[in-house]
Amino acid sequence: MKVFKFGGASLRNAQAVRNMSTIVRDYANGPLLVVVSAMDKTTNALERVVYNFLRGGNYQSEITTIFEYHQNLVNELFENPQEILHILEGLASQLTEKLRTTSDEDKLYDQVVCFGEILSSVIVHHYLAAVGIKNMWKDARQLICTDSTFREGKINWALTESSILSLRQELETHAIITQGFIGGDESGNTTTLGREGSDFSAAIFASCLLADSVTIWKDVPGVMNADPKRLPAAIVFEELPYKEAAEMTYYGASVIHPKTIKPLALKGIPLLVKSFTNPSLPGTKIHDCKVEHLPPMIVFKDNQCLISCKVTDFTFVNEDQLSAIFYALSELNVKLNVMQNSAISFSFCIDFRENKVMALIEKLQERFEVYYNTNLTLVTIKNYDEQSFETYRKKPGVILEQSSRSTLQVLVKE
């Protein structure tokens, strides 16, 4: 069996949904499970609903915009849209009800933001049926079982596996349409797996069902050695070992969600990244393989913040101080992207999320003189060669540099 994942861009309008149905028809021989994300930028819009609702802003107009967008799409896709429009209305009142009845902020976020995937999967399910592709809609909240860490649900693999395995029989006769990004906890609350988490959902389904492959349908021709919007000369990899792909995501390559590779690598399931606009292109196959002489891979990670902790009492940075820094980081659940130390200071680079960064700085100021810089870009050059090494080290605005035998990282102020 195969698992397909369609992201927001591949479902952003009626034409895109039609294109998806052609791919499903042409490229799915045998059993198929399709994971869909929210259409276009719906998740961002739903985040604004939560934000405005909690801060007394106009959330109602956001909700209206979201539903009008889906209604227009339905009107364009279906000859008889009434039944589906009616389902959409029901979903709109469910959403409003969630706002009224959920008090905890992170919990509320998950109960609301999940509607992007629900709407999308409902429309896709009905559309595929309308064009003669026999399929069943399944609620991922009953299949992907997590703990109650809202916004970042941790998978309960044993429960998830047994729920997902119950799909096997239906898969023999129907394609299954389900949602990415969302799961459910033991009390029946919706949880989400972290932004852009639909790829991870596809990997979970594939791992539990021992799928033959997972295909992520993207707006790029495959995994490339750089973002083509930034470096137009970027090339597409024919194949990549799991390890290389996983490391790329670690450094910030956004083509695949970082959690996607591990469950697939553990079961030896290949991951294909293919173009939804040009499905006949070969794309990239990520699997157990050896590739000689990989070209340099260049990953840009924007919106970085460099924090430096300076010792104030004429001692040098010691292990006790380092452990205080790491303790603060771990307590606030902040991930380090690069770190470097000198005699009297320890510097590190993290993603800039204002609340977190400010809380962290406040904590660190108890022991250190703290300096910080924002609006930085971290550029990682993995498998550098002489030329790329020189080019990036000499880039104007480099404020921190670090290299190992295979990887160069520079932090740049542009």
CB of 111 to ligand ASP, least distance (A): 15
* Structure token pair of residue 197: 């988490």
- 10 Å Cβ neighbour count for 399? 13
HSE of 357, CA atoms in CB hemisphere, 13 A = 20
Asked if 37 is part of the footprint of Mg ion (rule: CB under 5 A), the reply reads yes
CB of 272 to Mg ion, least distance (A): 18
Per-residue DSSP letters for 220-247? SSS-BSS-TTT-TT--B-SEEEHHHHHH
Q: How many residues bind Mg ion (CB under 5 A)?
A: 3
Amino acid at 406: S
Residue 160 or 198: the one with the smaller Cβ distance to ligand ASP is: 198
Picking from 313, 311, 312, 346, the residue whose alpha carbon sits closest to that of residue 329 is 346
Residue 140 is given by DSSP the state G
CB of 195 to ligand ASP, least distance (A): 4
CB of 73 to Mg ion, least distance (A): 16
Strand ranges (E), 68-168: 135-137
Residue 150 or 181: the one with the smaller Cβ distance to ligand ASP is: 181
Asked if 197 is part of the footprint of Mg ion (rule: CB under 5 A), the reply reads no
Per partner kind, with CB cut-offs from 5 to 8 A, the member of Mg ion, ligand ASP, none near residue 180 is ligand ASP
Residue 181 or 237: the one with the smaller Cβ distance to ligand ASP is: 181
Residue 111 or 198: the one with the smaller Cβ distance to ligand ASP is: 198
CB of 162 to ligand ASP, least distance (A): 25
Per partner kind, with CB cut-offs from 5 to 8 A, the member of ligand ASP, Mg ion, none near residue 183 is none
CB of 201 to ligand ASP, least distance (A): 8
Stretch that binds Mg ion, among 34-42, 216-224, 285-293, 383-391 (CB under 5 A): 34-42
CB of 43 to Mg ion, least distance (A): 6
Rounded to 5 degrees, what are φ and ψ at 259?
A: -85, 0
Largest CA distance in the chain: 77
* Tokens 């799409």 sit on residue: 73
Binding Mg ion (rule: CB under 5 A), the pick from 3, 4, 6, 8 is: 8
Asked if 183 is part of the footprint of Mg ion (rule: CB under 5 A), the reply reads no
Picking from 165, 162, 168, 193, the residue whose alpha carbon sits closest to that of residue 179 is 193
Amino acid at 62: E
Residue 114 is given by DSSP the state T
Measured in residues, the chain has a length of 414
Residue 1 or 216: the one with the smaller Cβ distance to Mg ion is: 216
173 three-state secondary structure: coil
Stretch that binds Mg ion, among 4-12, 139-147, 286-294, 313-321 (CB under 5 A): 4-12
- Interface contacts to ligand ASP, rule CB under 6 A: 7-8, 37-38, 43, 116, 180-181, 195-198
Q: Spell out the residues 6+ positions from residue 97 whose beta carbon is closer than 8 angstroms to its own.
A: none
Residues that bind Mg ion in the complex, under the rule CB under 5 A: 7-8, 37
